[in-house]
Structure formats: structure tokens, C-alpha cells
Structure 1
Amino acid sequence: MRILTSRSARALTAALAVGLIATGCASERGKDGDKDGAKDTFVFGAPGDPASLDPSLAADGETFRVTRQAFEALLEHESGGSKLVGGLAEKWSSNPEGTVWTFNLRKGVKFHDGEAFNAAAVCANYDHWFNWKGTYQSSAISTYWQDIMGGFAKNEDKEAPAPNYKSCTAKDENTAVIEVLKPSANLPGGFSLQALAIHSPKAIKEYEKQEASAKGDAITYPKYSQEAGTVAGTGPYKIAKWNKGNKEVSLTRFDDYWGDKAKVKNLVIRTIDTEEGRRQALQAGDIDGYDLVAPADIKTLESAGFKVPTRDVFNLLYLGMTQTKNPALQKPEVRQAIAHAVDRENIVKTQLPAGGKVATQFMPDTVAGWSENVKKYPFDTAKAKQLLASAGASNLSVEMCYPTEVTRPYMPAPQDIFELIKADLEKAGIKVTPKPLKWNPDYLDAVESGSCALHMLGWTGDFNDGYNFIGTWFAEPDKQWGFKDDKVFTAVKAGSLQGDPTKRTDLYKAANEAIMEYLPGLPLTSSPPAIAFGKNVVPPKVSPLTQENFAEVSFK
């Protein structure tokens, strides 16, 4: 892998945001040009703050939007698509069992700190992650490592999964061999993740001198990950500064980059956490592009000459239910009542751009494994009331968390969507207590730790495999959901262990049917998120995975 306030308050916030942009950046933008007068800084408006400058400690899209410009993984996705292509590895292969992966690495690649990239550097990264200790083993920090490679050399957290990573060997200077204990549907796709992007071994030595810490649900990230200067990747940009006061990360072109050099010298990614603020900043010329365009703004911007491409659907928004937080949710009839109470079609019509869809299961219909035969829960307030009565829960009260200061590709207006769901549930007789939390880190940490009885969250696929969706949530017990059901877990894992693509797809369909029969939460919608660029911008290819490469950007 995020306060929206009332509409009037959001408008005020937007106006203030634009005012700050116009004044706070005047000196920077006054110098925004090369000797020939061409613009040399591309400013992009992001909807949320990053959590870390080290992508291996993150699981959120706003961190990855920044780090993707500076770090590269062994594999990448083709520009504008979801097909796997070579990244730092030109070629890759595996044994028939899918347990030994061989990477033929690019030659002549340098890290931002001048270190040479080679097979030993690849192994230094994987062994670093495998040997994490203490708070680094928390699922709030090492989510992706645990999803892809399992646990650690020595599991200290009793909830950490068994390790699947076995070893990494530098066969020669330009050949790295990574072995796992069991085949997994997460590979080779997992090798393309930003969380497994490759860092300079010199930087890693500095990382290992610092610790992360936790107090309750709150995570304190290591200092190196919160300021520029230590992290070093191989990407077309290098991170120059993280100005948290102005909510922006500055990057500069890496002139020793191995591939096509970035077309614009400087890149600034600035947080503007309201839709109105981002739109007005683009219209005023204070930024050159922004993400997650409000559906109502698309035609307005296009008619004024701005470019507003829409990505293909590759995401999911869901209503999560944490059974351990509210015991009433342990009753199937209560979960079913909540599902029938929510008018998902209304969310699509009022909150999503054209092409938005009601979700029937925990993956979009663009992913192989989507099933037409899952159990459906159509909007029916009367049936919801009936189910609550049969469960002895007609006076149900439930706390619902929702995120502030963010929008996501699958969730363009969190508070507005929350208000619709709250109204639907209350029509069915369910009292909802709102609990707004700042997206990063408060909301994400609360959801991860199981502190929210109901919550809204979602997922944009990392790579095109069904397990990247359902396996993320339902391969094993997870605090976010707080349930144990072997039928669900077994069905989900079955697909991950099947090497034949056709058989794997059939197993994913069966898993989706088992999940929706149990109903751990309610899939809500899938959305085609739009992204906007200035009139003078030649934009990058837009990605269904929201993995835009800003090195492709230029100005007319």
C-alpha cells in the first residue's frame, strides 16, 4: 500500500493551503528555470504524507510514491502497465519448483552514495531484512517482508509467520541467487515491490546502528528514515530533503543513473490533503500535477486545458470488521446485517468517477480469480433489521474509524464515504460512534493492531496476481480482522502453493467464494482513480498500479 471535514471547512482548508503554497514557495519557484529559461522543477501534489524514506519500513502508497523515484527493485512493471519487466535484474529465472530464483544483474549501476551495485549488494539487503530484530519484526513496520518472505532468522514476535526466506548467494559479481523454502504465488511479483527495493550496503550499515521503537500502537521510526542524507538507492532521482514543516520531499536528478536520465532536474512532492486544495493549487500554477482528482472536477479541469488521464481499475475499498474489538461482530448474522445495510451503489454514484464499480469480493474483476459465484449481499435495510433481531443485536452500537488528512485511489473522499455508511447503518438501527484518526501513522497503526471495530481501508494491487489481494488479508489470522476460520485460511493458501496458472485461478475463485460465505468484512467498491497535470506538462504514462515514474515528465 489516507481531517477531511465538512464541505465548508474543507473549502476553507483548501483556500489556506493554496495561500501557503503561493507564499511559502515564491522564492523557490522564482528560481525555477535553467539558463535557457526552461522549467527545471516539477511539483506534484500528493494527498498524504509519506511515513518513511526507507520503503522497506512502509506499506503505504504515499511513501512509495516518493521512494519509487529514488529506489529500484530487482524487477519492475512496464511503464503504464502491470507486466513484469527487468529492473536492476536484466533477466531472471527459477527452478521448476519456484524455490530458487536466479537474477542476472545490470552492469555499471551505481548507488546515490557512489557505491557499486552488484550481487553482494542484493544479498546484503535480503539478509538485512531477514535478520531484523525487535520492533522491526512488528507487522506495522515489516508488513511486506512478512507477506512475501515470512518471518525472520529468529522470530521474537510470537505472531510473526514462519520464515520462507532461505538464503541469498552472490554466485558471481552480476548473478544473485535467492532461495525460498516453499513456492509462493507472491513470487516473482514480490521482487518488484518498493519494500524490497535495493539499498546501498554502505547505507544499510548506518541503518543497522539505529532502532525502531513502539509504545502501544504508536511506532517511532528510526531517525535515518525520517530525514534525507542516509538512504541511498539507484533510481533516476535522489532524495535531497524532507521538509516536514512544509509537508514536502525534494529530490534531485541523479546524473550517474544507469538508464534514461530524468527529464526535469528537480522533483518536489508536496502534501495537500484536500481535493479542493490540490485542484486550486494546479489551477493557480503552484503545482504541476496532482493525484486523486475528485470526480466532479474532471470535466472542469479538462475543459480548461488540463490533462486528466484516468487509470485502469486495479483497486478495492472495503469495510473492515474487527471481531475481537466488538464481540457482536463474531455473529455471522450481525456481519451479514451490516453488509445488507450499506448502499454500495450509492457510494459508486455519488463518490466515484465514471467507471467505478460495486465490489462483490475482495479483488477487482480485472484480476484472474474473480468469481461470479460468490454469495451476494444486496442493499436491503429491512433484511438488515431482521438479521440483527435474530442475532439479539437490535440495539447494536459500534465504533467506526475513518482516516483524515488523506485521500486514496480507492477512497477519494473518506469522510463523505464514512457519512454515507454511517447513515445507512443507522437506518438499520445500528448506532455508530465516529472515530476520526490522522491517516499516517495513527489510523494505519490502529487498524493494523485491531483497535477499530469498523474501519475503511483498501488496496491497490502491487502486481497482477489474485493472492496479492486475498492473500494480503486472509492467508492467516490477522489483528485487523480478529477471526480464525481454517476453511478460509486453507482456501486462500491453496492458490498460493499451486504452480499451474489455470489451476491457481480456479483455486482463487474457490477462495473468494469461501471468504464471502464467511464474510469477515464487506467489499465496497473499485475505482478508476484520475490524475491531473498542468497545461504545459508532458505527463508520464499513468499506471493501473499507481506507479508513475516522474523521470518521464517534461515541460513543453
Structure 2
Amino acid sequence: MLQTRVARTRRIALIGLAGALAVSMTACATSDRDAGGGGGTGGTMVFGTVGNPKMFDPAFTDEGETYRVTRQILDTLVQNKAGTAELEPSLAEKWAPSNDGKTWTFNLKQGVKFSDGTVFDAAAVCANFDRWYNMKGAAAQSQMIYYGDVFEGFAHNEGKATGDPVYKSCEAKDPATAVLNLTKAKGAFPAAFTLPAFAMQSPTAMKKYDADKVTQSGDSFTYSDYAYKYVSGTGPFKLEGWDQGKGEITMVRNDQSAVKAKLDKLIFKVIPDENARKQALKAGDIQGYDYPAPADYGLLRNDKNQVLIRPSFSVLYLGINQKNNPKLADVRVRQALAYGVNRAQFSQSKLAEGSEPATEFVPKAIAGYTDDVTKYPYDPAKAKDLLAQAGASNLTLKFYYPTEVTRPYMPNPADTFTAISEDLRKIGVTIEPVAKPWNGGYKDDVQQAGKQDIHLLGWTGDYNDAGNFVGTFFGRKKTEFGFDNADLFKALGDADAAAAGEAHTKAYQEANKKIMEYVPAVPVAYPTSALVVSEKVKGITPSPLTDERFSTATVN
């Protein structure tokens, strides 16, 4: 998400199904976030989702079901214009870096309050940044995925955090001016300020409800009541309650917000089964749901529903953990897996319209993509030969895949697992399947414990910068992949620090070449996804970042 460190405008064309996406670094743009506000038309909208969120404090997660909720109740300093990856003002009306990129000044919207009545001002901004930087405890730090990726380290690193922090301090020059001081320029700013993990939360509520308390038991984490009940933001909705038994998250209009939601109430209802979501829409029990099966697009349209297709901004990959199985540390084995996956057939038969096979981990729309990488076209014979050369003709792999979830890059995990497993069996690999619920062990097993040999994961871009993809995946040692490659880490670090523009792009292109020679994982596809809403629903714009805003929605 972090994009530039100089005071200039940068625009990159993003070609997708919904047309051109533009990424603008203009810091003084005029906000249209109040357009169409002016109060609600009333009523309730019920939207079907595929799974329960982890909780509601976005600082402690990187998963979409939490962010779906927090994007409605919390605001960031900078946001993406609806339907694009273009930057526009949010809680910050203007922002600008110093010449050396180490200082960022935010001119804040005034007259804004959090839903608990606390005033939003520069002191509140600094309280949030100081909170992340000073977070204590290995358990809490381990859950701050985005902070670790972007700011690289804490005031006192505990647990797995080892980097030197990019954050230095925050100054409230006056109530309307916050100044962020960094230890070094960061090539991805300011777009990372749009990350839901960096949303502004009420310092009063966080202190009252002990928001920083995170405890770990085995692979499970527990958070304070704040994260489940009392999250307080400046967004158009506020949390009313979460009935986990019924799988319903209820939000009501936040009258403190500068953006007035048109709805009185918004309910996210968890319906894990795809057919059940479809039937609930048909019966009128819900007015929309996410991730309809591509095969259903025609039927849904025939029933006069609106299928809103998101521009592609995702990558699906077959992850490889080199730590558990020594054979996977041999590049020839990883190359064999790459040659053994029929990406073209998978993309055409299992994914939505507009999806394409992937050749690298950066989608074509992102600056830093290059066609000049080592490619691995489907070639089972070559895959078998490479396995034989590596003494791995009888390779057995524990293949982890998630259940109880649908992701933008993976609409049906079971189908994805089946298709790729069959491809790998054809080159002589024995597959031991391991299925785990997404928020019931899968992510912890794969990303925290590294129990798998291979696995399915992916990424929907948070901002238009190659570092948000390859830097997030391969920029440092990670349990998920189990390798240590100092040359690759350095190449990605240098690219992140390169000046915006041509130098930044070329640095990531060179890093992408190194990645595809090393093959730390196998890029499979650049998928698209969609949401479907009733013909009665107006005002929802599909977002490449899955950043759909419900404050503008109406139900007639």
C-alpha cells in the first residue's frame, strides 16, 4: 500500500474488468467522501458473508472478514476512491512528505468525533501510531501482520520481530496537524495509510477496555473485550453487537460520523454454504452476498440480481514450506511443482470470467510487473525429469487447504485443492490432504506454525505497489515458506527504498526475476471475484481492494 516518498503525483494505469484503475499520489486532492451523504433513507440491509471475523480490532489481523466490518466503522487517514486504487482524503484532508521522505505532515479534518464521543484530533492520531510502535508482548506483536510488514519493528521487539523500526515519533503540532517522523524513507508511502490495520481508533475506548491485551494458548489467540464489543471509530456505522451463535454482526448508523450512512442498520450474516447464500437471496432473507460461484453468474442475472465484478487485483499461489521436507529445499523440486500445475486449464475451468494464469507474484496491473521472468509452462514430462534428477520421484507432500471460507483469489478452496492435487499426482507426487477451517486452525498452522509441506493461499492487493505483494510474501524470513535467502531479501529491501517512479519500478522488476529463478512458491492465477446484490440495492461500487462501502447503499 505504501507507494511514494516524494511530493509528486504519480499515476499508473491499471487495466481490469471494470476499466482503468488509477493510482494517484496527489496529496491535496479534493475529497468526495461527503458526496451523497446528508442523512439516511432508513431501513436495514442484510448482507451474506462466508465466515465469522476474527474480531474487530484491525491492528491484530490481516483477514478480510474482520476488515469487511471495520471498514464500515473505522476510518483511515487516507482512503481509496470508491471502485479504484486511487488515493483521496479521508480523516486527513491533505498530506505531504519532507524532501527526504522521513517526515509526513497530515492536515486533519476538524469537527470529527469517535462513536464514543472522543474528539478526533492530532493527539488521537499520535496515540494510535504510538500504540502500534509500543505494543508489548510476543503474542500481540505476532498478530500485527501489517505493522510488521510496513514499519518493520517495534520499540522493543519481542517474539519473532527482529527489524529496526521505521517509526520514530509522532507530534501533534496543533489539534489539526499531526507530524509523523520516520527513521528512513519508505518507498510505499503514502498508500499504506489506507490499510485497514492503520485505521484510527478512539484512544479513550482502547484504554478503558484494555485493547492491547492479547493472550496466546498454543496456536490460539484471545483478545480483550474491546476487540469483540467496544471498537470505536469515526466511520458511518458503529458496532451494535455480534451474535456469534447466529453468525450476525449488527451495525447501526453512527450519528457522530462526518459521513452519514443512508441505512439505519447494516447486518452481516454469516452463511458458509454457497447454495444457502444463494437461496437466502432468492427468498429475500438477505439483499446480497459475497463471492458468488462463477458458474452462477448467469442464473443470478436471470433472477434480476446485479453481479458486480471486481477488477482483478489478486494472485493465487501454491505455497511451499522448505523447512519441513528437505526435498523442497532443492530448487529442482520446486521447479518441478511449477511445471506440474496446469495454470491455464485451472484459470479457465475453475475461476471467474477475466481470470488469467499467473507467471509471477505481481499482477499485470502493478508497477513492477515484468514479462521478463523465468516461466514454467505446463510440462509434466519436464516436471518428472526434474524430480528424478533431485532424487524425489517418490515425493510425498502434506497439502494443506482451508475450509469454511471463500477468498477473492480462491472462490472454492476444495475445488482448487482437487484440481492442483490431480496435476501433482500426474507427475508422481503423493498427496496427503489436510483440511482446516480458515479461522479454526488453517492460518495458524500455515503462517504461524509452518506444519504444512505445500498449501493454498493468495493475496488481494492493498495498494498499488509491488512490495505489497512480493515484499509481503518474500521480504524476510517467514514460517510460511521456511527459507532464508539474504540475496533475495536484500533485493526486495532495496526495491522498497528506491525512489518513486522508474527506479522503484525497475528495482522490483529485477527482484521479480530473482524470485522466479528461486521459485519460493508457485504463482497459479490472477483471479477476479464478484459480489451479488438484489435489484433493489443501489449505491454499492465493487472495489479491486474488496473495499466496498455500505454507507452509500440503499434498499428500495
Instruction: Return the TM-score normalized by structure 1.
Output: 0.91
For residues 475-501 of structure 1, give each alpha carbon's deviation from its aligned partner in whole angstroms, at most 9, with x where no partner exists. 111111111112211221121111131
Q: CA deviation at 1:210?
A: 5.6
Q: CA deviation at 1:216?
A: 2.9
Q: Does 1:235 align with 2:235?
A: yes
Counterpart for residue 43 of structure 1: 46
SS in 2 for 1:455: strand
Counterpart for residue 146 of structure 1: 148
Q: Is the CA contact 2:238–2:251 (under 8 Å) kept in the aligned structure 1? A: yes
| Separation in structure 1 between the aligned mates of residue 136 and residue 56 of structure 2, nearest angstrom | 20
Matches within 5 A, 1:48-447: 48-139=51-142, 141-208=143-210, 211-226=213-228, 228=229, 230-259=230-259, 261-447=260-446
Q: CA deviation at 1:380?
A: 1.3
Q: Is the CA contact 2:209–2:225 (under 8 Å) kept in the aligned structure 1? A: no
Structure 1 pair 207/126, CA: closer, same or farther in 2 (3 Å)? farther
Q: Is the CA contact 1:51–1:441 (under 8 Å) kept in the aligned structure 2? A: no
| Separation in structure 1 between the aligned mates of residue 497 and residue 209 of structure 2, nearest angstrom | 34
Question: Unaligned stretches of 5+ in structure 2?
Answer: 2-40
Count of aligned positions: 516
Question: Unaligned stretches of 5+ in structure 1?
Answer: 2-37
Q: CA deviation at 1:287?
A: 0.6
Letter in 2 for 1:262: A
Q: CA deviation at 1:136?
A: 4.2
| Separation in structure 1 between the aligned mates of residue 394 and residue 224 of structure 2, nearest angstrom | 45
Q: Is the CA contact 2:56–2:66 (under 8 Å) kept in the aligned structure 1? A: yes
Q: CA deviation at 1:159?
A: 3.8
| Separation in structure 2 between the aligned mates of residue 137 and residue 99 of structure 1, nearest angstrom | 27
For residues 431-479 of structure 1, give each alpha carbon's deviation from its aligned partner in whole angstroms, at most 9, with x where no partner exists. 1101101101411111212222111111111111111111111111111
Q: CA deviation at 1:209?
A: 6.5
For residues 390-435 of structure 1, give each alpha carbon's deviation from its aligned partner in whole angstroms, at most 9, with x where no partner exists. 1001111110110000100000000001011111111111111011
For residues 519-542 of structure 1, give each alpha carbon's deviation from its aligned partner in whole angstroms, at most 9, with x where no partner exists. 000001111111100121114111
Q: CA deviation at 1:59?
A: 0.5
For residues 312-346 of structure 1, give each alpha carbon's deviation from its aligned partner in whole angstroms, at most 9, with x where no partner exists. 11011100001012221101111111111111112
| Separation in structure 2 between the aligned mates of residue 217 and residue 419 of structure 1, nearest angstrom | 27
Q: Is the CA contact 1:78–1:84 (under 8 Å) kept in the aligned structure 2? A: yes
Structure 1 pair 114/39, CA: closer, same or farther in 2 (3 Å)? closer
| Separation in structure 1 between the aligned mates of residue 186 and residue 420 of structure 2, nearest angstrom | 37
Q: Is the CA contact 2:154–2:161 (under 8 Å) kept in the aligned structure 1? A: no
Structure 1 pair 409/209, CA: closer, same or farther in 2 (3 Å)? closer
Counterpart for residue 504 of structure 1: 504
Letter in 2 for 1:74: L
| Separation in structure 2 between the aligned mates of residue 389 and residue 159 of structure 1, nearest angstrom | 39
| Separation in structure 1 between the aligned mates of residue 238 and residue 553 of structure 2, nearest angstrom | 16
- Fraction of identical pairs, as percent: 44
SS in 2 for 1:452: coil
SS in 1 for 2:478: coil
Q: Is the CA contact 1:289–1:532 (under 8 Å) kept in the aligned structure 2? A: yes
Q: Is the CA contact 1:125–1:204 (under 8 Å) kept in the aligned structure 2? A: no
Q: Is the CA contact 2:135–2:141 (under 8 Å) kept in the aligned structure 1? A: no
Letter in 1 for 2:512: N
Matches within 5 A, 1:437-476: 437-449=436-448, 450-476=450-476
| Separation in structure 2 between the aligned mates of residue 270 and residue 217 of structure 1, nearest angstrom | 27
Q: CA deviation at 1:190?
A: 1.4
For residues 340-366 of structure 1, give each alpha carbon's deviation from its aligned partner in whole angstroms, at most 9, with x where no partner exists. 111111211111111000011011101
| Separation in structure 1 between the aligned mates of residue 485 and residue 288 of structure 2, nearest angstrom | 45
Structure 1 pair 70/273, CA: closer, same or farther in 2 (3 Å)? same
For residues 33-71 of structure 1, give each alpha carbon's deviation from its aligned partner in whole angstroms, at most 9, with x where no partner exists. xxxxx8611111112211111111110011100110000
Q: CA deviation at 1:254?
A: 0.7
Matches within 5 A, 1:538-553: 538-553=538-553
SS in 2 for 1:68: helix
Q: Is the CA contact 2:211–2:226 (under 8 Å) kept in the aligned structure 1? A: no
Letter in 2 for 1:351: K
